[in-house]
Structure formats: structure tokens, C-alpha cells
Amino acid sequence: MLKARIIPCLDVKDGRVVKGINFLDLRDAGDPVEQARLYDQQGADELCFLDITASHENRDTIVDVVARTAEQCFMPLTVGGGVRTLEDIRKLLLAGADKVSVNTAAVSDPDFVRRAAEKFGSQCIVVAIDAKLNPGSAAGRNWQFEVFTHGGRNATGIDAVAWAQRMAEYGAGEILLTSMDRDGTKQGFDIDLTRAIADAVTIPVIASGGVGTLDHLVAGVREGHATAVLAASIFHFGEFSIAQAKAHMKQAGVPVRD
Amino acid sequence: MTTVIIDYGSGNLRSAAKAFERAAREHGGGDIAVTADPDAVRAAERIVLPGVGAFADCRAGLMALGGMWAALEEAVITRGRPFLGICVGMQLMATRGLEHGTHDGFGWIPGDVVALTPAPGRPVPHMGWNELTLRTPVHPVLAGVETGAHAYFVHSYVFRAADPADVLAESDYGGPVAAVIGRDNLVGTQFHPEKSQETGLRFIANFLSWTP
């Protein structure tokens, strides 16, 4: 039986972790490779790096981080943040990433996803969707959730459900869905959003944004119909270990890899 | 004592090479080389064919390396060198691939590669960790791997072997999925051993010491 995946996500800036595990036993808590190795040992099912490096000149720092991680961690690795061109994707894959997530570039040029999937295969193209409940602008629309870019600042006027379907049709292999309403709130995933997207597409959906308790992880799979759950802070600050998260999900009847 | 990993432009081979190097270092398995050279394949002791993406693209990529197909036939079929196909590299051993049209495979292991059908709660690609059920007697490349062990899968097409005896391990995803196939000096995994942590490294080490 296929197991629900637990995916810790590390924010990396200029090659250093800015949001990551805050454990005393790390020699260098700012080193993404060190953190990746810890999550590997803890039994994380996959790992995600989100590159938040602002300047374009420093973009190659993430490539180096990926290369060093791939030498030591034999687990699937997704890398996202600032991916704009086929060359960006190629570099990350060659460095050792298994999947690359695309967000803003897909919104500016949806066909980019089709070209990327054709060139590298759907299995390595993740489309990241940042969505918000948008009742204010929903007048005259029959949809509920809107796609945003730039960390939730820019509205696009795009229906998130239709967008997810379109991205799947264009060859995305997976959707990383983040609720910008819930991100950082610790109130749990936006279940309505997650389920709306997961039920509308036939590709896997990773739920993200808002995890504060282990019950939230359960809800993401059971009620949100996601096949994977992504979380950052609950793992980084040592509130819960991956093993605790898995034990809790298992007890709740969600199949996980022990 | 060289194991070659064939580089034919199908995705990233860095992590695969690193995993084979690690397994070789820890369990003894000689040198690991990544190559696009047919002569290196002819001279190799063991051959690994990775593969991601579409069946036809991988096939075309391999054909584009002048003489590689013939070198593979010579090393693997004529001389019987141990061969491991990973993911699409495994699927290429089939008679035919039915992805975006019908394409001939190597025809080394009779069977077709057919699409997985999505269903509610069962998206495609089949992506993530799934359990293996091993056929008994356990094949030497699966020694030390137990039924219930998890491996990492990412695929939308499955190998339907004509002879069930060629399926060495299965997973379940709305029906049986061939996880490991093999006959004679050939083995193939639908999952990615290079991404399957301890189970994967164990499998790779077994392959590196396997004498069919």
C-alpha cells in the first residue's frame, strides 16, 4: 500500500538555512546539508528546499547545496524558489534534485510547464500553487480560491481549482498546494482548499501551510485528500520529530512508512 | 571490476552514481563509472541502465548514442553480464511500450508496459513509498530485503510481464504493480533504489555482488 508522505521543508537563503531545525546537537545549524542528513536519519519521506535567495547572482548557491546534499542523502529531494527557465531546472536536476517546483514562472507563462514536462518528464515537475480564499473579489465568479504569486502579495484573478487542472493537463507530475491564509498561522491546513484541488486532479497533491499540531497532518490526508503533507516549523523547532508525526498518523489510521 | 551506469541524457545520474559508489565502498563492488561510450559498456563487468521520462524518449536517447544498443545486446545477451534497469530502464526490457503510441523495447523479458489508471484516492503518477512483497524463493538481489520493506516509486506506467515467474517482487496500487522483474542475468526495478534509503542501498550492494 502506498504511504502518506511527510515532507519537511527548509528555507534556504544564499546557501544557508534561515528556517530550519534549531537543535543544539547540530554542528552547524545553518548548513542545509547537515539538516538534510538529520531529516534523512529521522525517516522523512522526502525533503524540500525552498530557495529564497533574493539576488540573481547568488542563485548558484542553491545548486551547490543540492549537489552536496545528493552526495549524502539517498532520499527524494524537491527544490523550488525562483525557478524561471529550463536551464534553471536542468542545473538543479544535474546537481541531484529529483523534482523542481515552479510557481511564478508557471503563472507568467503556463506553457513553460508543458515545455519543462516534455523536456525533463512529468515526474520531476512540481507546480507550486499559492492560493487564498477570496470572497471579496468572488462577486460574479463561481469559484472560491484564487492563485497568488510573490509570497501571497500578488493576486492573479485565476481560479485555483481550474489552474490546478490546467497544470496537470500540461504535464505537472504533482501539485504543491499552499494556503496563504493559513501559512504561518499554525491553525491547520485549509481543508476546503486542499480537498477542492485534490478531488479535481488525478495527480498527487501535497498539502502545505498552517500545520501546528500532529492532528493537522492527519486532517490534510484524511479530510483534505492530499497524498503528502509538508511542514516546516513544527519540525524545525523540535516541537515534534518525524517519528512522532508518523506514530500519530499511524494511530489515527493514516498509512505511513515506519 | 567496473560497473557502468549508462548516460544517455535521461535525467540526473549524479544521485544514482553516488548511491552506487556508497554501496560499492561499504560492501565492496569495484569501480563505478558513468558513461555514454559503447566500448565502455562492452568492457564492463556490470551494466546499469537508469531512465526517467517517457518510454519513447528514453528509447530514442539510447538509439542516439551510435552503437549503444548493439553494445548492450552484446554485453548483456551474448556475454551474459549482470544487467540492472531502473524505472524506464527496467521498462525498456519489455517487448513493447504502450506510452504515447506503441514502441519496441529490447524484448529481453516478454511483456508490455501499460498505463496506470487513476482512480479517486489513487492519483497517477504512483508517487511515494510503497511496500514490497517478495516472491519466494527470494532472488539474490533481494537478499536481506523483507516483504513489507518500503521502496520509493515515481511512475505512470507499469510492466506487465507475460510470464509471472519473471516478477520477483510486487507492490500494490489498485492492483499488483511489478516492482522488481528479472530472469537469467537481467533484473529491473520499477522503484528507485538510489532514492530508497537503506532498502535501496542494500539492493544495490546485492546487485554489485550478484553472480547470475
A211, part of any domain:
yes
Give per-residue pLDDT as tens, A74-117.
Answer: 899 999 999 999 999 989 988 889 999 999 999 999 999 999 99
For residue A26, name the pLDDT band (cuts at 50, 70, 90).
low
Is the interface score ipTM higher than 0.90? yes
Give per-residue pLDDT as tens, B97-144.
Answer: 998 889 999 999 999 999 999 999 899 999 999 999 999 999 999 999
Classify A55 in phi/psi space as left (phi over 0), alpha (psi -120 to 50) or beta.
Answer: beta
pLDDT of residue B11: 64
CA–CA separation, A98 and B15 (whole Å) = 9
For residue B68, name the pLDDT band (cuts at 50, 70, 90).
very high
d(CA A163, nearest CA chain B) in Å: 17
pLDDT at B28 over 90: no
In sequence order, the 6+-apart residues with CB closer than 8 A to the CB of A216 are A188, A189, A210
> Which residues in chain B have their CB less than 8 angstroms from residue A204's CB?
123, 125, 127-128
Residue A145, burial from CB neighbour count under 10 angstroms (0-12, 13-18, 19+): buried
CA–CA separation, A247 and A218 (whole Å) = 11
The domains located in chain B, with CATH, are 2-209 (3.40.50.880)
A101, part of any domain:
yes
Find how far residue B142's CA is from the centre of its chain.
13
* Peptide linkage before B212 cis (omega within 30 of 0): no
The count of domains in chain A is: 1
A192: annotated active-site residue: no
Could you tell me the residue range of the domain that residue A98 belongs to?
A: 5-251
Among A82-91, B49-58, B113-122, B198-207, where is mean pLDDT lowest?
B49-58
pLDDT at B202 over 70: yes
A93, part of any domain:
yes
Cβ pair B127:A123 closer than 8 A: yes
Q: Which three cell numbers stand for residue A89?
A: 531546472
User: Pick the residue with more confidence: B175 or B29?
Assistant: B175
Find how far residue A123's CA is from the centre of its chain.
15
Mean of the pLDDT values across residues A168-172? 97
d(CA A203, nearest CA chain B) in Å: 5
CA–CA separation, A123 and B92 (whole Å) = 17
* Peptide linkage before B176 cis (omega within 30 of 0): no
d(CA A136, nearest CA chain B) in Å: 32
Mean of the pLDDT values across residues B153-182? 97
Residue A9: φ, ψ to 5°:
-120, 130
> In this structure, are residues A99 and A78 in contact, taking their beta carbons and an 8 Å threshold?
yes
For residue B9, name the pLDDT band (cuts at 50, 70, 90).
confident
The 8-class DSSP code of residue B122 comes to: B
pLDDT more than 70, % of chain A: 93
A256, part of any domain:
no
B58: annotated active-site residue: no
Cβ pair A70:B129 closer than 8 A: no
> Which residues in chain A have their CB less than 8 angstroms from residue B147's CB?
none
pLDDT at B207 over 70: yes
A257, part of any domain:
no
A258, part of any domain:
no
Mean pLDDT rounded to a whole number for chain A: 90
pLDDT of residue A87: 92
pLDDT at A140 over 70: no
CA–CA separation, A117 and A125 (whole Å) = 6
Query: Which of A45, A51, A130, A181 does the annotation list as catalytic?
Result: A130
Q: What is this structure's pTM?
A: 0.94
Mean of the pLDDT values across residues A10-20? 82
pLDDT of residue A51: 92
A222 touches chain B (CB under 8 A): no
Q: Tell me the β-bridge partners of A145.
A: A133
For residue A65, name the pLDDT band (cuts at 50, 70, 90).
very high
pLDDT at B156 over 90: yes
Look at residues B41, B34, B40 and name the one whose alpha carbon lies nearest to residue B9: B34
Among A181-185, A191-195, B137-141, B149-153, where is mean pLDDT lowest?
A181-185
A54, part of any domain:
yes
Mean of the pLDDT values across residues B50-65? 88
Q: Supply the CATH number for residue A181's domain.
A: 3.20.20.70
Helix %, strand %, coil % of chain B (to 5): 30, 30, 35
User: How many residues make up chain B in this entry?
Assistant: 212
Cβ pair A98:B15 closer than 8 A: yes
Among A49-58, A110-119, A144-153, B81-90, where is mean pLDDT lowest?
A49-58
CA–CA separation, B201 and B194 (whole Å) = 7
> Which residues in chain B have their CB less than 8 angstroms from residue A1's CB?
130-131, 172
pLDDT of residue A165: 98
pLDDT at A55 over 80: no
Half-sphere exposure of A96 (CA within 13 A, CB side): 26
Residues B123-150 as b or e (16 or more Cβ within 10 Å = b): bbbbbbbbbbebbeeebebbeebeeebb
CA dihedral A4, B172, B127, A224 (to 10 degrees): -40
> In this structure, are residues A201 and A165 in contact, taking their beta carbons and an 8 Å threshold?
yes
Mean of the pLDDT values across residues B69-88? 97
Mean of the pLDDT values across residues A194-199? 98
A64, part of any domain:
yes
